[in-house]
């Protein structure tokens, strides 16, 4: 009973903070413009630094994307193409072949994967792909797949490190992620100062990323989608924001399990519905699939009318893959660290499936639907979610409603995941205490309202930049620590081969 | 080698009757008894990251609660029976977990009640029995 009253009190408190703020946000020249101004002037240089682009064949190429892709390629070679050689082992781990029955009741490999996926599957798969195809043509799909496949090695490395260097607290709870492997891992190599600096850099960027890309951007897109589809909340984004903030608050502050439980059930359902519908469309046009692949391959290597030629197509594909699966950003390493296992490598193997499912499977399906239905060649110049929606709706007219609900739920689950990523960075910087956790969570809820109530272009730019800025520290750490991961991997593989790590199924 | 009888329990009166039946059989066959409590849990559910983080703690708490509230009092009350006895607590799908424990303990026979206490974490009811019958490799006795 006592807990319940605490929950209710904190939610009421949250409302008191949110309502005046939202009202302020609606006033012309209110918080909206003030925030825009702050972000635009003070943080503009930061955004342009992160997204510093070189122009190749008339197409601007942000160097941060190259930073991520090069890391993924280097790790692919360095780890001996673990994404291909190790994928059978990944699936065995998921099936519980190596799970000791006596450990039943701990977080399973499947659950770890599902939790990490719920943080990345979302708008990137629905809207991002459409952006890539509309800007880069069908051929962008091919490069997206290539980038997704390389990203698997980066995920493998970062999630292994996340578990290896996580912090276990006396009460049994665990905190882990890039901030811990950067500080502890580099301290082991005699570079404690560098480790600490990189860890702080990562944490700060992760907190900003969790407020921005993991929160405001999601709320903003969900609001737009709901408003466009159902014609509700069109003028009252702040109200939508408050409702969403209270629901988010109920889960992350109130610990109301039932809401999380409901989304846990619906989000996978939505993902299955989305992929299922895509599959039906593809199967119904079975005879056109070879043609579609032909269009994709041709577009990838000899595009006709797309600006920038092959390089232009390549850049669009790489960009969207990096935005979508977050390999090298370090976010998934935080989610995977919560798993209790004596073998960090097992989490690496399981995590390498994430870019595969996210980019190679889901993004490719979206792209194929857009190509097969001919929606990519639309005359109206649709892009983003609207293009994906029109492709699906050309076959199933009711799909717009499903997509709107899916976007809302994906946004919600992404927010929950990112609130955790941000929280872990926050507690790394400010210490593990209930009070500091509560402060972070309240701020997080406030940002939900800001994200929904105003169209804050510069803020969105900033939040994208913050997520990518996480990769500066993280990728450096991956290069410095990849040697130890490789050594551990060799050791782990030899113990699998010798049967020292037992099979239970 | 003595026989081993596995009794699935969940703290309900039905499972109490199953235990009593198990004891009668164990006395007759000079068998040893394993009392197994399965905490309903799925490895394929979807969790928030925070739940994952708390999972280890929760698991220990769940096991402790079952031991303190159900298993230990039961073992204590049965101590005068002069039968070799032990308790096992395990997370999982009830039917599959019972069979898993039966294999580990080398049991020759499983005894369960028909309907159990119907709470989220401790369910042994109809469908579990059906599943148990389908999966089992050894005789199963259902005590009504």
Q: DSSP per residue over B38-107, as a string?
A: EEE--TT----HHHHHHHHHHHHHHHHHHIIIIIHHHHHHHGGG---EEEEEEEE-HHHHHHHHHHHTT-
Please classify residue B130 by burial: count the beta carbons closer than 10 Å to its beta carbon, then call 0-12 exposed, 13-18 middle and 19+ buried.
exposed
Contact pairs from chain A to chain B, CB under 8 Å: 94
| The two structure tokens encoding residue A496 | 């699998």
Residues A474 and A329 sit within 8 Å (Cβ to Cβ) = yes
What is the average pLDDT across A347-354?
Answer: 94
Q: What is the largest CA-CA distance in chain A?
A: 69
Q: What is the pLDDT of residue B122?
A: 43
A368-397 average pLDDT score:
83
Q: CA-to-CA distance for B64 and B84, rounded, in angstroms?
A: 22
Chain A residues with CB-CB distance to B63 below 8 A = 105
At residue A478, the pLDDT reads 96
Query: What is the mean pLDDT of the segment spanning A114-122?
Result: 85
- Of the candidates B41, B45, B57, the beta carbon closest to that of A171 is on B57
Tell me what the mean pLDDT of segment A441-451 comes to.
91
For residues A224 and A163, the model is more confident at A163
- 3-class secondary-structure state, position A451: helix
Per the prediction, chain B carries an average pLDDT of 84
How far does B56 lie from chain A, in Å, by closest CA? 6
- CA dist B12 and B74 (Å) reads 12
pTM of the predicted protein model: 0.87
Checking if the pLDDT of B138 tops 60, the result is yes
**Is pLDDT above 50 for B63?**
yes
B50 and A420 in contact by Cβ < 8 A?
A: yes
CB contact under 8 A, A115 and B49: yes
Please name the residues in contact with A181: beta carbons below 8 A apart, sequence gap of 6 or more: A161, A162, A164, A165, A333, A477, A481
Judge whether A37 is closer than 8 Å to chain B, CB to CB: no
pLDDT digits (tens, 9 = 90+) for A28-79: 445 556 666 766 677 778 888 888 888 877 777 888 888 999 999 999 999 9
Helix axes A344-351, A457-498, angle to 10 degrees: 120
Cα(B119)–Cα(B124) distance, rounded to whole angstroms? 9
User: What phi and psi values does residue A55 have, to the nearest 5 degrees?
Assistant: -100, 120
A385 against B60, higher pLDDT: B60
Query: Which of A98-102, A424-428, A492-496 shows the lowest per-residue confidence on average (mean pLDDT)?
Result: A98-102
Of A105, A115, A171, the CB nearest to B52: A115
Share of chain A above pLDDT 70, in %: 89
**Predicted confidence (pLDDT) per residue in A234-271, tens digit:** 777 888 999 999 999 988 888 777 777 777 777 788 88
Q: Give the residue from A127, A137, A55 showing the smallest Cα distance to A310.
A: A137
Q: What is the pLDDT of residue B99?
A: 92
Structure-block tokens of residue A469: 């800025």
Task: Check residue A32 and give its pLDDT.
Answer: 59
Range with the lowest mean pLDDT among A170-174, A329-333, A454-458, B118-122? B118-122
Could you tell me which of A240, A254, A219 has the C-alpha nearest to residue A447?
A219
Nearest to A111 among B52, B62, B97 (CB): B52
* pLDDT for A276 beyond 50: yes
Residue B16 has pLDDT above 90, yes or no: no
State chain A's mean pLDDT as an integer. Answer: 85
Relative to beta strand A174-175, strand A53-56 is unpaired
Question: How many whole angstroms separate alpha carbon B61 and alpha carbon B67?
Answer: 10
Query: Inter-chain contact B92–A251, Cβ cutoff 8 Å?
Result: no
Residues 232-251 of A with CB under 8 A from B: 251
pLDDT value of position A28? 47
Residue tagged 């665990």 (tokens): A174
Query: In angstroms, what is the C-alpha Rg of chain B?
Result: 15
Question: What is the per-residue pLDDT for A442?
Answer: 94
Reply yes or no on whether the pLDDT at A385 is more than 70: yes
pLDDT at res. A245: 94
> Of chain A residues 74-133, which have a CB less than 8 A from chain B?
96, 99, 101-102, 104-108, 110-112, 114-115, 118-119
Identify the pLDDT of residue A454: 67
The predicted pLDDT at position A265 comes to: 74
């Amino acid at each position: 009973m006592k807990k319940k009253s605490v929950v209710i009190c904190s939610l009421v408190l949250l409302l008191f903070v949110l309502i005046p703020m939202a009202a302020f946000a609606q006033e012309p020249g209110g918080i909206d413009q003030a925030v825009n101004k702050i972000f635009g002037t003070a943080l503009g240089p930061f955004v342009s630094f992160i997204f510093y682009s070189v122009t190749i064949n008339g197409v601007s190429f942000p160097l941060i994307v190259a930073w991520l892709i090069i890391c993924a390629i280097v790790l692919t070679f360095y780890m001996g193409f673990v994404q291909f050689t190790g994928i059978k082992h990944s699936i065995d781990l998921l099936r519980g072949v190596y799970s000791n029955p006596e450990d039943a009741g701990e977080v399973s490999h499947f659950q770890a994967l599902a939790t990490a996926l719920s943080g990345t599957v979302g708008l990137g798969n629905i809207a991002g792909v459409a952006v890539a195809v509309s800007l880069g043509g069908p051929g962008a799909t091919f490069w997206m797949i290539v980038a997704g496949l390389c990203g698997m090695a980066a995920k493998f490395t970062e999630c292994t490190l996340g578990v290896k260097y996580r912090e276990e607290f006396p009460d049994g709870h665990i905190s882990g992620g890039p901030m811990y492997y950067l500080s502890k891992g580099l301290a082991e190599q005699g570079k404690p100062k560098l480790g600490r600096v990189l860890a702080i850099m990562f944490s700060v960027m992760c907190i900003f990323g969790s407020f921005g890309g993991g929160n405001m951007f999601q709320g903003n897109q969900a609001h737009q989608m709901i408003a466009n589809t159902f014609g509700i909340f069109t003028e009252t984004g702040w109200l939508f924001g408050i409702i969403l903030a209270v629901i988010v608050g109920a889960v992350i502050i109130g610990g109301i399990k039932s809401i999380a439980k409901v989304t846990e059930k619906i989000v996978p359902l939505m993902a299955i519905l989305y992929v299922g519908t895509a599959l039906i469309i593809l199967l119904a046009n079975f005879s056109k699939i070879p043609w579609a692949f032909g269009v994709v391959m041709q577009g990838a290597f000899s595009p006709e009318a797309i600006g920038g030629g092959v390089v232009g197509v390549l850049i669009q594909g790489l960009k969207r893959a990096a935005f979508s699966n977050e390999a090298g950003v370090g976010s998934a390493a935080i989610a995977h660290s919560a798993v209790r296992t004596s073998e960090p490598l097992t989490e690496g193997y399981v995590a390498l499936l994430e870019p595969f499912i996210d980019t190679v499977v889901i993004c490719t399906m979206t792209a194929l639907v857009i190509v097969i239905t001919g929606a990519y060649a639309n005359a109206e110049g649709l892009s983003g979610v609207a293009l994906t929606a029109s492709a699906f709706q050309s076959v199933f007219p009711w799909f717009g409603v499903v997509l709107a609900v899916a976007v809302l739920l994906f946004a919600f689950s992404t927010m929950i995941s990112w609130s955790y990523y941000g929280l872990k960075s926050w507690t790394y910087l400010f210490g593990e205490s209930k009070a500091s956790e509560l402060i972070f969570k309240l701020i997080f809820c406030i940002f939900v309202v800001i994200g929904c109530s105003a169209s804050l272009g510069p803020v969105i730019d900033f939040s994208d930049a913050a997520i990518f800025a996480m990769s500066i520290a993280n990728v450096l750490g991956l290069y410095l620590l990849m040697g130890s991961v490789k050594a551990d991997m060799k050791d782990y593989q030899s113990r699998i081969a010798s049967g020292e790590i037992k099979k239970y199924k | 080698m003595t026989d081993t009888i596995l009794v699935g329990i969940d703290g309900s009166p039905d499972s109490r009757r199953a235990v009593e039946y198990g004891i009668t059989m164990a006395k007759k066959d000079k068998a040893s008894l394993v009392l197994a409590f399965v905490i309903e849990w799925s490895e394929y559910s979807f969790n928030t990251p925070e739940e994952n983080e708390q999972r280890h703690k929760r698991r220990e708490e769940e096991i402790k609660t079952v031991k303190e509230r159900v298993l230990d009092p039961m073992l204590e009350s049965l101590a005068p029976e002069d039968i070799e006895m032990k308790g096992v607590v395990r997370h999982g799908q009830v039917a599959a977990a019972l069979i898993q424990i039966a294999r580990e303990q080398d049991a020759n026979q499983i005894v369960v009640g028909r309907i159990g206490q119907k709470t989220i974490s401790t369910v042994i009811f109809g469908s579990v029995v059906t599943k148990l019958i389908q999966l089992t490799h050894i005789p199963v006795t259902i005590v009504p």
